[in-house]
Amino acid sequence: MSRNQNKSIIKQNYQNILSKLLMYVKPHKRVFFLSVVFDLLATLFNMLIPLFSGLSIDCLIGVGNVDFSLLIRYLIVIGILTVSSCIFDWLGSYFMNILTYKTGQSLRNGLYKKLNNVPIKYIDNNPHGDIMNTMITDVENITDGFLAGFKSIVIGIFQIVIVMIIMFILNWIMALIVICVAPLSLYLAIKITKKSKKLYRERVEAQGALSGYAEEMILNMKIIKAFNNEEPTVKKFDTTNKELGVYS
C-alpha cells in the first residue's frame, strides 16, 4: 500500500469517527450553541478590557492635568466588562459541562449496547480491564477533548479576528509584522500536535494494559495466593505502572 493510499484511509477513518461523534452531540446542539455564544461574549469583553485600560492611562496626562470625568467613565466601562466577562465565562463553562455529561452518557449507553451484541470471542480475546477503560476513561477523554477542542478552535479563530481588527485600527504596521510571523507559529503548533498525538496514543495503550492486568490479577487473587505468586505479580504490576508513568 502506497503512502498516499495510507493517508487517504486514515483521513477517511477520521472523517467517519468525527461524523459518529457529531451524531451523539447533535441531540444537544442547543446546549453546545449556548456554550459557544457565552464563551465568545466572555472572550470579546475580556479582550476589550486592555483597550479601555490603555485609554484610561491616556487620561493621566501629567501632574495636575488629569481628565477625571473621562477616566471615571472608562473605569466604569472596565468594571462592567470585567463583571460581564466573568458571568458569561461561568455560563459557557456551565453549559459545556452539561453537554460533556450528556454526550458521555450517550456514548457509554451506545458502547454498552454494542458490547451486548459482540461475539463472545471478542470478550475472551480482549483484556476486561481494557474494555472497562474504553467505556469509562476513553469516553471521558473523548468527550472532554473533542468538545473542548472544537470550542477552543471556534474561540481561537474569533480571538484572532478580533485581535487583528484592533491591531489594524491601532497600528497597521505592527499588525502586518504579526501576520508575517504567524505561519512560523502555525508550523510549530502542527509539529507539537503530531508529537503529542503519538505520545497520547502510547499513553492510552499503557493505561489499557495496566487496567487489564490489574483487573485480571484481582479476579484471580485466590489462585495467585494458592501458588504463592504474589511477589512476581507485584513486580510485573510495578513495571507496567512505571511504563504508564513515563507518559504522565
Q: How many helices and strands in the chain, by DSSP H and E?
A: 9, 2
The reported pTM is: 0.64
Beta bridge partners of 60: 66
The radius of gyration of the chain from alpha carbons, rounded to an integer in Å, stands at 26
CA-closest candidate to residue 221, choices 233, 208, 238, 237: 233
Q: Could you tell me what percentage of the chain is helix, strand and coil, using 3-state DSSP and rounding each to the nearest 5?
A: 90, 0, 10
**Model confidence pLDDT, tens digit, residues 24-52:** 778 888 888 888 889 889 988 988 888 88
CA-closest candidate to residue 57, choices 40, 28, 78: 78
Handedness of CA 100, 105, 106, 112 (dihedral sign): positive
Q: Residue 66 pLDDT more than 50? A: yes
Confidence of residue 80 (pLDDT cuts 50, 70, 90): very high
How is residue 129 written as a grid cell?
Answer: 480491564
Report DSSP state, residue 126: S
How is residue 232 written as a grid cell?
Answer: 512476581
How much is the pLDDT for 191?
Answer: 77
Q: Residue 88 pLDDT more than 90? A: yes
How much is the pLDDT for 6?
Answer: 45
Q: Is 213 left (phi over 0), alpha (psi -120 to 50) or beta?
A: alpha
Q: Residue 235 pLDDT more than 50? A: yes
Beta bridge partners of 62: 65
Q: How far apart, in whole angstroms, are the C-alpha atoms of residue 26 and residue 195?
A: 31
What size, in residues, is the chain? 248
Query: Which carries the bigger pLDDT value, residue 246 or residue 137?
Result: 137
Provide CB contacts within 8 A for 117, sequence distance 6+.
Answer: none
Q: How far apart, in whole angstroms, are the C-alpha atoms of residue 117 and residue 127?
A: 17
Provide CB contacts within 8 A for 223, sequence distance 6+.
Answer: none
**Model confidence pLDDT, tens digit, residues 151-208:** 777 887 888 888 788 788 877 787 788 778 777 877 787 777 777 777 777 777 777 7
